[in-house]
Structure 1
């Protein structure tokens, strides 16, 4: 009987650690689709965020003039992504160039090198792809 309980617990913990691994696969640095910024995705209290850590030409990200270079660097542009069954969902993505927030959901390619962000606002939907650095 002890062996059965031990076996069940071992299987349970191995499955939960396996699921935890998939959950954090999104963490790391990514090159955006326009190849002019690096975004670092990180986890905080079970929720995922992404901040700008490098910008090639800050003026390319901020046509509105509302944000300076310093304001963009370190800024969270991805907020509140929650992992659920292979997707990170219910988040928002800030688009500095348009000074607008859109709804965001993310998925990874099988090789974990391409992050696809599905963004939407009202009836508009688009997908963008970021590359892992």
Structure 2
């Protein structure tokens, strides 16, 4: 019986992706075809990972739209403004509505700087 050992199996060690090819009688052509299939699968895996990372980032930026994700509450009967991101409550609703946002902006700036310092400390 005449036979040729022309089948090729390629394993990408970092990812564990395995590609087999035995379509052709030539081992060289089978190897070239298997390498092309492996390159395509690696590219697809990379693109899928990148798209899922982008989708996760987009979802974290957008939020869920739930009512609990409120930023600020204006309570007119009590004359109160509450910023829920920093737990700041001011009883100066009229002044805030006239554009006097200095206290809110200062508190938000301090909170942002504290978050940046905490992020630097974690690194």
Q: TM-score range by the shorter chain?
A: 0.3 to 0.5
Query: Of Structure 1 and Structure 2, which has the larger fraction of its residues in strand?
Result: 1
| TM-score where L is the length of structure 1 | 0.35
Greater relative contact order (CA < 8 Å, ≥ 6 in sequence)? 1
Query: Of Structure 1 and Structure 2, which has the larger fraction of its residues in helix?
Result: 2
* Pair member with larger Rg: 2
| TM-score where L is the length of structure 2 | 0.37
